[in-house]
Amino acid sequence: MSQKFQEIINSERPVLIDFFATWCQPCKVQSSVLNTVKENIGDGARIIKVDVDQYPALAAQYGVRGVPTLAIFKNGELLWKESGVHDVNTLTQLLQQYV
């Protein structure tokens, strides 16, 4: 996963990473929000989900201490990272800044 993850975040296109856990109720809420964000942003950015229980080393590498944690990467650079549930408009605007 680590090699594939590096390829994904090194993209010219911004990538929103959703660090989540299957047992996390707020993560389920965030997931439905991200579906709408994807509709709003179209092909301008990618949205990828990473299960912290399946990839704990990846979560640790990026300092994920709680879920959901969202992070935006472009050209391999971490541009933004925050924990908690975020609304559609905030995330859409954030991604549009980097498209």
Q: Annotated catalytic sites, by residue?
A: 24, 27
**DSSP per-residue letters across 23-91:** T-HHHHHHHHHHHHHHHHHGGGSEEEEEETTT-HHHHHHTT--SSSEEEEEETTEEEEEEES---HHHH
Burial of 25 (0-12, 13-18, 19+ CB in 10 A): exposed
